[in-house]
Amino acid sequence: MICLISLTLYLLTHYGLIELFQLDMVKVRRFLVLVQEDYHNHNPYHNSVHAADVTQAMHCYLKEPKLAKSLTSCDVLLGLLAAATHDLDHPGVNQPFLVKTNHYLAALYRNTSVLENHHWRSAVGLLRETELFSHLPTEDSLNMERQLGSLILATDISRQNEYLSKFRTHLDQEDLCLGNTSHRHFVLQMALKCADICNPCRPWELSKQWSEKVTEEFFHQGDIEKKHKLEVSPLCDSETNSIADVQIGFMTYVVEPLFAEWARFSDTRLSQTMLGHLCLNKASWNAMQPEEAEGEQAAATEEPSSRALPQGSQEC
């Protein structure tokens, strides 16, 4: 699995970042090899393929006209590095699991954004170890590390409402000014959040595989919890949860609200296509739910045209 290394290297070159920041190719390669190795490739979901997927999505969002014309090279570099490293050394279990098993990381980060802090500090560790930015003024490299942290910490799903309300308020007031550094940073945080959970916005065949992988990881955690007689975490019990209901909940309460706002911010063909896939994928999961979906299925029988909603319709 070398895709994360080659993809990131390709993108750094594509954006001209190697030259602009006078990065040493030997250090860049070494950094990316270490990043790749720090992902646990036996995790069904949180592995370097997920990191590559998020990096690819981030690249697509950075290319959206509104962002492309306002972002600085530094923003792009940080956006790509944050995407590539945002789940570094992910243990394949979630924060509640680390807290209840008294994992040292939970103590180290005081039960707060435990994983995200660890991903960030791991990324900083690799940046320092490979001396990737050692030719830059100390002030600049420290600033890069701080911003990398602020981007990675934004991927903490438990803080989504905070970010989403702030985004919504800005969009309602039409006061986002991409000439302003802190506004641009906020939009990068939102872009990374979208990239991190964009699986349901991919075409069905891809989306479905990601769903199976993430559920496999959840159920694996549930099995460990049962084995150790711990309370089984929400979504992690293979006896009471199904891939379909985990996905439908995730799409309805987490992905749809985020991507609806993103499409308000960046109303492009890409955003509309993503909302279209989201709608169709959710309908596919609903169709696989035999019992609970009865009501909806009845409605669909009465009105067969309701499934042929135009792409991008937010009727889901």
Ligand X SMILES: *[C@@H]1O[C@H](CO)[C@@H](O)[C@H](O)[C@H]1NC(C)=O
Q: Which segments are annotated as binding site? A: 46-50, 86-87, 196, 247
Are 209 and 181 in contact by the 8 Å Cβ rule? The answer is no
Q: Select from 25-33, 106-114, 161-169, 270-278 the region that touches ligand X (CB under 6 A).
A: 106-114
Site for Zn ion in 90-149 (CB under 5 A): none
Shortest gap between Cβ of 206 and ligand X (angstroms)? 37
Among ligand X, Zn ion, none, residue 183 binds (CB under 5-8 Å by kind): ligand X
Return d(Cα 114, Cα 110) in angstroms, integer.
Answer: 7
Q: Which two tokens stand for residue 236?
A: 């992690």
| 92 residue type, one letter | G
Site for ligand X in 108-137 (CB under 6 A): 110-111
Q: Does 196 bind Zn ion (CB under 5 A)?
A: yes
Residue with tokens 């975490």: 233
| 224 residue type, one letter | I
**Phi and psi at residue 231, in whole multiples of 5°?**
-65, 135
Give the DSSP letter of residue 310.
P
Catalytic residue among 46, 59, 118, 277: 46
Shortest gap between Cβ of 106 and ligand X (angstroms)? 6
| 43 residue type, one letter | N
Which x/- pattern over 153-192 shows residues binding ligand X (rule: CB under 6 A)? ---------------------------x-xx---------
Q: Does 104 bind ligand X (CB under 6 A)?
A: no
Shortest gap between Cβ of 128 and Zn ion (angstroms)? 23
What is the number of alpha carbons within 13 Å of residue 209 lying toward its C-beta?
7
Q: Does 225 bind Zn ion (CB under 5 A)?
A: no
Whether residue 118 lies in the annotated active site: no
Return d(Cα 37, Cα 101) in angstroms, integer.
Answer: 25
Shortest gap between Cβ of 109 and ligand X (angstroms)? 9
Q: Does 156 bind Zn ion (CB under 5 A)?
A: no
Among ligand X, Zn ion, none, residue 161 binds (CB under 5-8 Å by kind): none
Shortest gap between Cβ of 89 and ligand X (angstroms)? 20
Are 83 and 58 in contact by the 8 Å Cβ rule? The answer is yes
**DSSP of 220-261, one letter per residue?**
HHHHHHHHTTPPPPTT--TTT--HHHHHHHHIIIIIHHHHHH
- CA 63, 65, 69, 71 dihedral sign is negative
How many residues interact with ligand X (rule CB under 6 A)?
7
Among Zn ion, ligand X, none, residue 169 binds (CB under 5-8 Å by kind): none
For residue 289, how many other CB atoms are within 10 A of its CB? 16
Among ligand X, Zn ion, none, residue 256 binds (CB under 5-8 Å by kind): none
Site for Zn ion in 73-92 (CB under 5 A): 87
For residue 291, how many other CB atoms are within 10 A of its CB? 5
Shortest gap between Cβ of 196 and Zn ion (angstroms)? 4
Q: Which two tokens stand for residue 292?
A: 């609970």
Q: Which residues contact 197 (CB under 8 A, 6 or more apart)?
A: 157, 250, 254, 255, 258
Q: Does 30 bind ligand X (CB under 6 A)?
A: no
Among ligand X, Zn ion, none, residue 182 binds (CB under 5-8 Å by kind): ligand X
| 8 residue type, one letter | T
Residue with tokens 């991903």: 119
Indicate the annotated binding residues for Zn(2+).
Answer: 50, 86-87, 196
Nearer to Zn ion, 83 or 263 (CB): 83
Residue with tokens 């309701």: 306
Please report which helix (H) or strand (E) contains residue 181, including its range: helix 181-196
Q: How many residues does the chain have?
A: 316
Nearer to Zn ion, 208 or 213 (CB): 213
Active site residues: 46
Residue numbers at the binding site for ligand X (CB under 6 A): 99, 106, 110-111, 180, 182-183
Residue numbers at the binding site for Zn ion (CB under 5 A): 87, 196
